[in-house]
Amino acid sequence: MELGQKFPLTIKRLGINGEGVGFYKRNVVFVKGALPGEEVTVKVSKVQRSFAEAEILNVRKASKDRQEPSCPVYNECGGCQLQHLTYDGQLKEKRDMVIQSLEKYVKSVADTADIRPTIGMDNPWHYRNKSSFQVRKEGKRVYAGLYSEGTNKLLNINDCAVQHPLTSKITVATRKILQKLNISIYDGKTLDGLVRTIVVRTAIHTNETQVCLVTTRKDIPHKAELIERMLKIDPSIVSITQNINREKTSLIFGDETTLLHGKETIHEKLGELAFDLSTRAFFQLNPEQTVHLYNEIKKAAELTGKEKVVDAYCGVGTIGLWLAPKAKEVRGMDVVPESIDDAKKNACNHGLKHARYYTGTAEEWLAKWKREGFTPDVVTVDPPRTGLAPSFIKTVMQIKPKRFVYTSCNPSTFAKDLQELTKIYKVDYIQPVDMFPQTARVEIVAKLTLKNK
């Protein structure tokens, strides 16, 4: 294949980034915006050794699941990848993405495991409880939004179709206040300026909101007036914080967070549980689907009240506390100290004295506890997109918990990890859950049980 080459293509499936996948003379071709079953004419835009990328010139035969995206900047933004696919179609394709990952790395699991239909949402819009919008300035105007896919052009976004409306309202109002007070804005090229990101997290069930300004240094001009104006945006704002990030990095937060006004944390509920969330603490972005996700984890754990449970990569303790009422003992660990502080408070607030939390890596603590005579019956994990650390997998395979409940937001790294885990574990079933409608991301809960010797 050559750059600029044009040819007809039949799309066979969706790739992990939501692009259409077809085959031309045995070469894999990725086509952004194309859907399975479609016949399209494409033009090659990039050629690599093992694949090519192409753009659609025209759709000769459209999928019955194709629809018009509702977002005006959908094609530029890249934050969503599947708005042009009906929601029923999204749920079906997300299950298929899981199967594709398994076929690539652990075909035996793809052939034998029970891979269930994706659990979706009744209303798959405006579900995200947290936004992190970059702030930039053009002329005298301050913008807040996301970068256009593959560029350093910032799209000013006033109303995001997947964000909770309150986060959009507060972000827009905050950027206007920054502009009015002429507070300097970070420049990604020169690295000059003060404010780089506006982060808003709202608690859906308690109507408490926290706003964080990520800045390059501590001193904020007109700070008192800035806070006064921000508090007038919406009565739900009970916490305003500042995080300092001096580095040239794509990471949003630095290590230092200070309170500018109100409470250190906001309060949120999930089912029967309530949680206090500090600025940097991890918490699921879709509370409605999180209840479904955690109930699936509880189902897979099969607790009877006698089990010792370890909640690795525990964040603020949400999963462990969800399981605690039916567990004999829960221990959790995380490398972020603030998250462990929140987890301890959350356990204390619920009177769950048998749930304890520790700062550090899961493999360090599991090895230490094994030496002390503590071996868990159930280990549950919800790691970052990079998957499990090889050292953690090695430790799990040494201590051999009876059940291993793997929650993943990345089917590819999940499938890679199964290459090792399936040496001693059987995959009973995999349950996809749609935590991020309109995007190509899919969450899964897998129940693994120790094989008989």
- Active-site residues: which are they? 409
405/445 Cα distance (integer angstroms): 7
Q: What DSSP designation does 439 have? A: S
Q: Are strands 237-244 and 39-47 parallel, antiparallel or unpaired?
A: unpaired
Are 344 and 411 a contacting pair, CB within 8 Å?
no
Q: How many residues does the chain have?
A: 453
Closest listed residue to residue 211, CA positions, set 255, 178, 243: 243
Q: What is the CA radius of gyration of the chain?
A: 23
Are 280 and 253 a contacting pair, CB within 8 Å?
yes
Q: What DSSP designation does 79 have? A: S
Are 281 and 316 a contacting pair, CB within 8 Å?
yes
Within a 10 A sphere around the Cβ of 7, how many other Cβ atoms? Answer: 16
Residue 406 to residues 228, 293, 411, 417, 424: CA-CA distances in angstroms? 45, 12, 11, 10, 14
279/310 Cα distance (integer angstroms): 25
Residue 137 to residues 79, 142, 184, 241, 405: CA-CA distances in angstroms? 21, 4, 9, 22, 46
Specify which residues 146 forms β-bridges with: 155
312/357 Cα distance (integer angstroms): 10
135/430 Cα distance (integer angstroms): 40
Burial code (b: 16+ CB inside 10 Å, e: under 16) for 212-234 equals bbbbbeeebeeeeebbebbeebb
Beta strands in 230-305 (DSSP E): 237-244, 256-262, 266-270, 273-277
Backbone angles phi, psi at 365, to 5 degrees: -70, -40
Residue type, 292: H
40/56 Cα distance (integer angstroms): 7
Instruction: Tell me the two tokens of residue 32.
Output: 């952004």
